Every structure is written in C-alpha cells, then in structure tokens.
Amino acid sequence: MARTTLRGHRVRVAAPRSHPRLRESWITAGERYHDVCLSLGRHDQIVGELRALTHKYPFHERRWIQLMTALHRCGRRGEALQAYAAMRRSFRDEPGVEPGEEARQLHLAMLRSGEDIIPERDAAPASGREALRERDQQRAS
C-alpha cells in the first residue's frame, strides 16, 4: 500500500505475511503512524487509507476509531457517524460483539459534536526515546 510519509514522500509498504509477530508489529506501526498524522492535523490526508484499511481489516477497532476521528475533524460528521454504524454492524454480524468503550465514547462525543474527540493516547510522543520508555513501562505493568 502506498503511504505519504511525514516528509511528504511516497513509499510502498507491504504487510509482512510470513511471521505473525512481525505482522502484528507492522499493524502497530501503522496505527502509530495514523495517530501521529491525527495529532499533526493531517486527518484529511489519511481518510482514504483508513477507509481501505477498515474495509480490508473490518475487526481492527483502532483503525475504525482513527477513521471516525479523521472524518469528524474534516467536518464530515455524518460520514463519521456512518463509519461507527458500519463498524458496529460488522462487529455484531461476525464475532457477535459490541464496539469497545473507546469507540462508544468517541461515538457519544461525535453526537455531541462540539467536543475535541481525539482520544488522549493519540498524542505523538516527544521523541523516540520517550516512546521506547512508554513501551517498556507498558510491558512491565
């Protein structure tokens, strides 16, 4: 999949298929990339990619949350609410579950519409060293 990097260059990134742990790292890196884009106000640049990812991976709730956040910040509240409805429908139809707490809270915030809807954890870390420290603390707990 092609992606715009933070410096504006186009690169081709392919998901690793052979090793489950590597694939999970790839997914996490993609989620962090989109979190950084959202925190930098580049929501309009990632909507298309997030739509494609939610279509390809309909049970990755974090991607849906990022898509809804990006759409809402682009002033496309109706589409953001439709994305929540689509996520909820696909979760109920296949695995038979409801969206998690973070997605439900985001949905309520979108309904209220005046609130800043980006979840607190989306803020980009100040440095790579800080991100590593956060990761190590999470693993230790």
pTM score of the predicted model:
0.69
Question: Which of 73, 64, 45 is CA-nearest to residue 103?
Answer: 64
List residues bridging with 39 in a β-sheet.
none
Contact in structure between 77 and 96 (CB atoms under 8 Å): no
> From the first residue on, what is the mean pLDDT of each consecutive set of 10 residues in the chain (141 residues)?
55 63 85 94 94 92 95 92 94 88 92 62 47 63 64
Residue 122 has what pLDDT? 43
